Amino acid sequence: MRNTINILLIAAALTSCENALELEPFDAVSDAGVIVNEKSATKALNGAYHQLTTDEYYGGRYFLAGAYLSSDNVTWTGSLNYYYDFDIHSIASDNQLLKYSWNGIYATVNQANQVIDRTNSLTNISEESKARIVAEATVIRALAFFDLARTWGNVPLVYEATTSPTQFDGVKQTAQKEVYKAIVSDLLSVKDNLSETSDNNHINQSTVDAFLARVYLYQEEWEKAEASATAVISNKNYALVDYNTFYNISNSKESIWELAYSAANTNQHSQFWRSPSDGGRREWAPSKELVELLSNPEIGGTRAALYSDISTSQEPDKYVGKLYHRPTNDDPAYIFRLAEQYLIRAEARAKKASPDIEGSLADLNAIRARAEVPVYTTNSVEELISAIELENRVEFALEVNRWYDLVRTGKATKVLGIPQHKTLFPIPYSDISADKDLKQNEGY
């Protein structure tokens, strides 16, 4: 019997020890001690940029698609009904695009908050680096807040790194206007900590100016919008380039901030635009109405390159959008480009208390000239505003601007024939169930 016990104990000792249970993952690292110095803080900041590039967000497949399909520029031509629902403004709160976009944007917020909190607590880093990293993360967070607010209206804002699932219980939605104010204040507080210049893929002080110009425009703070846009336009690092150039090459001088993609982090966006013969699924395409505008030399000019016509006798009016077109899946995603600053300034100059028609026309015509369309002139502020609106529509034909411009200026109901409540998307059903603090938007 004693032998038996000995054998058992020896065998057990050979094969069993608590150490075998203390395993660390190979593919990931545990939470504690992940950001310990400047280098790791920078890597985590890259992670925040990465969050912007995902499918859910600026990778286009979800967030961007919802916005441009809602406009009259892009129409659904594919098979996935949850996209179609945006095209026909019949969005139910269980539409999966909403869930993915919403969750993806809040994941970006958390990543930015993690970088901010954890970098702030570092002691082995220069104050300058610390401030810059925190500032870049703050701008990324502000962009996320901005996209949430302009899409869904009143949204919850969180400013701390998440450590527990119940940490933000009780945090309710902030009114859209207050969100814009908070963004401005965040941007102003960190602007000076940023580099003055950088490559087009990272945030610098001009990025913040461009961002501020846009937020002020949404707030209808015309003078401020004009000033911020001017700060960018006068920066010689940026220039309007040939229209075809800005999206055919990466990092043209037109880009104030574009998100970079590569084989290591691809952009699936173009697959949804490309035609089946190019290996895409052509889930959506430029609308017939847009094509008529782009193909008009008086309106579209060189921007006609944004589509190609693949109609056949069997399938008339069949177009393919060309903005996102690379089979290599490395099309950049454009966050701010210089043309927008011109048109923001044009609009601000036209709409401010004492309109500056001449200055506004100059900005408008800078964009028109670049697209090789004839110079536009008018003496009427109203006509000018309409012209700027149309210019925005064709200049950003396949970007999200059209939808948000229609909503921002209150024209969506008339132009698209939708009730007011549909100018905001419903908050995803999944989060309404999971988050007791959330209130669904009116009408859904």
Q: Which is nearer to other proteins, 376 or 429 (CB)?
A: 429
Q: Which is nearer to other proteins, 13 or 375 (CB)?
A: 13
Please calculate the CA angle 62-63-68 and round it to the nearest 5 degrees.
100
How many whole angstroms separate alpha carbon 117 and alpha carbon 105? Answer: 18
Q: What does R_g of the chain's alpha carbons equal in angstroms?
A: 25
Token duo for residue 361? 């026309």
Q: Which is nearer to other proteins, 46 or 296 (CB)?
A: 46
Beta bridge partners of 285: 75
Q: What letter does residue 425 receive in the DSSP assignment?
A: P
Provide the 10 A C-beta neighbour count for residue 387. 21
Q: Which is nearer to other proteins, 62 or 396 (CB)?
A: 62
Closest distance of CB 89 from other proteins, Å: 9
How many whole angstroms separate alpha carbon 141 and alpha carbon 182? Answer: 11
333: CB partners within 8 A, 6+ apart: 52, 53, 58, 59, 60, 64, 258, 259, 261, 267, 269
260: CB partners within 8 A, 6+ apart: 53, 201, 250, 251, 332
Closest distance of CB 27 from other proteins, Å: 5
Closest distance of CB 224 from other proteins, Å: 29
Q: Which is nearer to other proteins, 20 or 353 (CB)?
A: 20
Q: Which of 317, 314, 318, 319 lies closest to 304, judged by CA?
A: 319
Q: Which is nearer to other proteins, 51 or 204 (CB)?
A: 51
Token duo for residue 106? 């809040």
Closest distance of CB 398 from other proteins, Å: 19
Note the maximum CA span of the chain: 109
* Centroid of chain to Cα 441: 22
Closest distance of CB 181 from other proteins, Å: 19
Closest distance of CB 243 from other proteins, Å: 24
Token duo for residue 159? 């400013």
Closest distance of CB 234 from other proteins, Å: 27
Q: Which is nearer to other proteins, 52 or 190 (CB)?
A: 52
Closest distance of CB 297 from other proteins, Å: 26
Q: Which is nearer to other proteins, 29 or 188 (CB)?
A: 29
Beta bridge partners of 76: 284
Closest distance of CB 168 from other proteins, Å: 5
Q: Which is nearer to other proteins, 243 or 272 (CB)?
A: 272
Beta bridge partners of 286: 74
Q: Is 33 exposed, middle or buried (0-12, 13-18, 19+ CB in 10 A)?
A: exposed
